[in-house]
Structure 1
Amino acid sequence: MSNELAQEVEQEHTRLFSSKVQTPLPAPIEMSTDRGRAPTMIRGRRLTHWIRVVALGGLGAVVAAALVVLAARGVTTLKFVPDWLEKYPGEYAPVALADPGFPWWVSWTHFFNFFLMVLIIRSGLLVRIQQKPPAYWSSRKCDQKISINLWLHTSLDVLWMFNGCIFVVLLFVSGHWARIVPTSWAVFPNALSALVQYLTLDWPTDHGWVNYNSLQQLMYFVVVFVFAPLAIITGVRMSTWWPKDAAKLNTLFPATFARAVHFPTMLFFVLFSVVHVILVFATGALRNLNHMFAGTDAVNWTGFWLFVLAIALTVGGSIACKPLIVGPIAVRFGKVTNR
């Protein structure tokens, strides 16, 4: 029995130590591909994509502008064009002559128009892209709620309309309406002549202290008496002020039509403002800025520094349009809640 026991012990010893123990290999270390914060996304695409789009778009705009200038200069070489430009130099003498210069109310309403337009466009874009408003506002008389951004947008619209009404009233009372209201059919060929001169970069003769050129007159007329009322009417149609129960009126002027017109109207104001500012600086910055901000025809830096101050106030006002600051103001006119 002892031999048999010894053999069993030896066999068990051999089995235990000759077998290979399978030990699991350590899990492979996964290298993280995240080298920092998640990429900034705008409308489903990376920020770098939009930077490339803006860069390529800017380059394309420069090339297109250069081609337009070359084409315009080519048009002026046609046989009949020089005589036509001499006949229509870009402006005409208005029937009613306004006093030269710009009264103080023109400078102030011009500044408030610029200031309010920037804030209106900013708040309007916030209303358009917002997913969840930071707060809601409702009147004390009814429970209908709107976003705090829409309340701000509407309130700024009221101030803008008030400023515009003051401008229009003083425009006709003072006689300065003749600056921006065409009084002759000659405005059209002269406006086309001024446009050709702008496109060739051979600027029209500037008599802005006394009389706008015809293209300026037409554009200012369209801005004040066409697009501004259009923005107001379509804005009121989409607001809570519009009577919801007026079925016939709502059929004649549907909200979908107002919405389709209101946003392109805003784009027009943006485009007009950009071109306006570019031409102000390109055609004699110091004198033009003095016209608009200092009310003088002198060529000095007064108007420029007033322009810088206006920009600083506008930027500050835009930054201040936060719910933390807007909320305490809005609560004075209604109720502000988080939901």
Structure 2
Amino acid sequence: MTTGTSRLNLFRPSRPSRPSRWFRLAWIVPALVVASTLVVFAANGLSALPAVESFMRTYPGVSTQPAAVPLGIPTWLAWQHGLNAFFILFVLRTGWQVRTTKRPSIFWTRTNTGWLRTKNPPIRITLDLWQHIVFDSLWAVNGIVFYVLLFATGQWLRIVPTNWDVFPNAVSAGLQYASLNWPTDAGWVHYNALQLLSYFAVVFLAAPIALVTGLRMSPGLSARLRRFDRVFPLPVARRLHFATLIFFVVFIIVHVLLVLTTGARANLNHMYAARNDDGWLGVWIFAGSLVLAAAVWLGARPAVVRAVAARSGRIIHRTR
């Protein structure tokens, strides 16, 4: 028998179903295509203006370089680049897991014995955060080695602006990229001004900000650094940390896209094989690094991660 309430429900308009997340995301692709097309048309239109043409002749896209800039890319830098790409991939992956997991059910507590024994008891953290800290630590150690070698070998001159003309040249290079008239590619000798500023921002701004904000958010340190709450509150650190994550994601997407569309073989030889030719060694090393990253990505299943984490701490399961 139908009740009065159920009869009323028959005449109520049904609520429109919310579009799925993937449906909403699907609009991003055509929107990006349209926006990119408009940018290309606008850049070509600007580049055709006499004043802009004169500007681009004066500033072709390459900043004035110091005489002491080293030529070429050393082997250590190629290996550092490969390791950094590997570590940052999993730093971003685990960071996203930490941010998006609302109710974690697996936790890890460090074993407070041996050479890692501390006066204060260890703090319990989620297994996702443990993964993030592990890859962060590897990335930071690799970064320290990178900074030491960068300044010891003079390679810092390739990515640090030393002349004010870098800014108008960066605008010129940006217009060339946007109009699909690629700037002259001479990465073995020097980077164009936009590349130089981008690499400087990554190495000397984004990476330190990510490290400092990550340390500020660290469970063990944040509890002991209450005096910094006024000058560097945790919410500010979280927002900066997430903004840096987004910056790295955007940079990596654009960087990889340009590497593959502006002479992939030569670029990969520079970056992975430290060679200035059109051979295939850099491509094979790059392909091998992708296979390794995919294997680790697929192999880092919860059971495997728990087994590895259990070697240095106690795993705790919490029912949801």
Q: Give me the whole-angstrom Cα distance separating, in 1, the residues matched to 2:246 and 2:28.
A: 17
The aligned counterpart of 2:263 is 284
**Quick check: 1:331 aligned with 2:302?**
no
Question: 1:156 is matched with which residue?
Answer: 135
Of residues 38, 57, 60, the one that matches 1:67 is: 38
Instruction: Tell me the CA shift for residue 297 of structure 1.
Output: 1.1
| Deviation readout 1:85-134 (Å, 9 max, x if unpaired) | 11111012311433322111111111111111111111111111223434
Give the match for residue 260 of structure 1: 239
| Structure 2 counterpart of 1:298, one-letter code | D
Within the candidate set 284, 290, 293, 1:305 is matched to 284
Aligned to 1:131: 102
Q: RCO higher in 1 or 2 (8 Å CA, sep ≥ 6)? A: 2
1:247 to 226, 235, 256: 226
Task: In structure 2, give the amino acid aligned to 1:316.
Answer: A
| Shift in alpha-carbon separation, 1:245–1:298, aligned structure 2, 3 A | closer
Quote the Cα distance in structure 2 between the aligned partners of 1:102 and 1:258. 35
Report percent identity of matched pairs.
42
The answer to whether the 8 Å contact 2:272/2:286 transfers is yes
The within-5 A match list for 1:162-241 is 162-241=141-220
Which whole-Å CA distance do the structure 1 matches of 2:122 and 2:157 have between them? 48
Return the letter of the residue paired with 2:159: I
Cα 1:246–1:115 shift into 2, 3 Å = closer
| Distance in structure 2 (CA, Å) of the matches to 1:134 and 1:300 | 49
Report the count of equivalent residues.
294
Task: Indicate the RMSD between aligned Cα atoms, in angstroms.
Answer: 1.7
Distance 2:232 2:273 in 1: 43
- Alpha-carbon spacing, 1:164–1:246, altered in 2? closer, same or farther (3 Å): closer
CA distance in 1, matches of 2:34, 2:278: 33
Shift of 1:337: 2.1
Provide the C-alpha distance between the structure 2 equivalents of 1:143 and 1:224, rounded to a whole number of angstroms.
32
Residue-by-residue CA offset, 1:176-203 (whole Å, 9 max, x unaligned): 1111011111111111110011001001
| Residue 124 of structure 2: aligned partner | 145
Return the offset for 1:331.
2.4
2:52 corresponds to which of 67, 81, 86: 81
Is this contact kept in 2: 1:118–1:318, CA < 8 A? no
Shift of 1:78: 1.5
Aligned position for 1:314: 293
Q: Shift in Å at residue 247 of structure 1?
A: 3.3
Say if 1:103 and 1:309 are closer, same or farther in 2 by CA, change over 3 A: same
**Aligned letter for 1:139?**
R
Q: Does the aligned pair in 1 maintain the 2:43–2:178 contact within 8 Å?
A: yes
How far residue 45 of structure 1 moved from its aligned partner, in angstroms, is 5.8
TM normalised by structure 1 equals 0.83
Secondary structure of the 1:184 match is coil
Match of 2:24 among 41, 48, 53: 53
Query: Runs of 5+ in structure 2 lacking a partner?
Result: 1-16, 113-120
TM-score, normalised with respect to structure 2: 0.87
Gaps of 5+ in 1: 1-43
Of 107, 130, 146, 2:78 maps to 107
Letter in 1 for 2:110: S
Aligned to 2:68: 97
Which letter does structure 2 place at the counterpart of 1:154? Answer: I
